[in-house]
């Protein structure tokens, strides 16, 4: 069994989620940031890849106090569990994500001394020989009570999750900008799929200055 997996990403019209520097770019408008905060508040866990931690150093907290208070009233923790997919346990000890419950998923490649250090900050789980075994990780999250998992990037992790058929729905906020750059990260990086993956368009709406696309992945 696995949680319901929702991917959320902010993109330029040319499908880029950052530029060639891979540094965090402000792509979302304020209306989109509000929507993302609401999605976070509804999630049991938020997942990102180590590339996103190293590039953006996100906190992955629910920003609105009202939404955090609502979670507490519902008997939940203030913020969802944060999950970092990080084969070699490269996550810095002072990463901003280390507040509240954090799970760092590593593979057997991870250096034991790194794992020991990070174990003081987070729960470290080991799945997979080289890359993190996402199926095993999703099963583990389900067994820990995670029913709604929000994935916030980046393109390499999203690609693996899509390729393995683990994604149920996708929200893409398209800002009216073009970033360019053949090496800029995109919504779905990694290697190309053996055949294009089909999705159903659930809705398209104008949101702030951009467009919000809600997609359902067809199995
Ligand atoms: N606009 C947005 O909404 C948004 C959101 C998030 C990120 N971003 C941008 O995206 C970029 C980061 O994306 P990214 O693609 O470089 O990194 P990423 O997807 O965050 O992380 C990918 C890394 O995760 C690790 N990993 C371990 N097991 C994996 C598996 N089974 N499948 C896939 N990855 C696995 C790999 O590193 P190891 O082998 O070392 O473990 C891999 O390189 C940054 O530029 C960031 O600013 C944009």
Q: In which domain, by residue range, is 27 found?
A: 4-217
What's the 3 CA to ligand 1 centre distance in angstroms? 20
pLDDT at 42: 98
Q: How would you classify residue 53: left for phi > 0, otherwise alpha for psi between -120 and 50, otherwise beta?
A: alpha
Q: Report the pLDDT value the prediction gives residue 219, as an integer from 0 to 100.
A: 76
Count the domains in the chain: 1
How many angstroms does the Cα of residue 64 sit away from the middle of ligand 1?
26
The CATH number of residue 82's host domain is 3.40.430.10
Query: Could you report the per-residue pLDDT of 103-121, keeping only the tens digit for each?
Result: 999 999 999 999 999 999 9
Ligand 1 atom index nearest CA of 53: 20
Mean pLDDT, consecutive 10-residue segments, the chain of 219 residues?
98 98 96 98 98 98 98 98 98 97 98 97 98 98 98 98 98 98 98 96 98 95
> What pTM value is reported for the model?
0.98
Atom of ligand 1 minimally distant from the CA of 87: 41
Q: Tell me what pLDDT residue 130 has.
A: 98
153 Cα: distance to centroid of ligand 1 (angstroms): 6
Cα 66 to ligand 1 centre (Å): 30
């Amino acid at each position: 069994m696995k949680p319901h997996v929702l991917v959320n990403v902010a993109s330029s019209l040319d499908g880029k989620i950052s530029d060639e520097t891979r540094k965090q770019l402000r792509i979302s408008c304020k209306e989109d940031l509000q929507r993302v905060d609401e999605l976070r508040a509804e999630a049991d866990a938020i997942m990102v890849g180590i590339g996103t931690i190293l590039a953006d150093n996100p906190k992955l907290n629910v920003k609105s106090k009202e939404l955090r208070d609502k979670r507490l009233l519902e008997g939940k923790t203030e913020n969802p569990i944060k999950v970092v997919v990080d084969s070699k346990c490269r996550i810095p000890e002072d990463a901003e994500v280390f507040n509240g419950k954090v799970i760092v998923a590593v593979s057997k490649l991870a250096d034991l001394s790194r794992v020991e250090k990070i174990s003081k900050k987070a729960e470290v789980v080991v799945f997979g020989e080289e890359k993190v075994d996402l199926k095993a990780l999703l099963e583990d999250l389900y067994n820990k009570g995670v029913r709604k998992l929000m994935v916030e990037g980046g393109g390499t992790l999203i690609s693996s999750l899509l390729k393995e058929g683990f994604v149920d729905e996708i929200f893409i906020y398209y800002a009216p900008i073009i970033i360019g750059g053949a090496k800029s990260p995109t919504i779905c990086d990694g290697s190309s799929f053996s055949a294009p993956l089909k999705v159903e368009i659930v809705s398209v709406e104008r949101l702030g200055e951009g467009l919000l696309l809600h997609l359902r992945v067809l199995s």
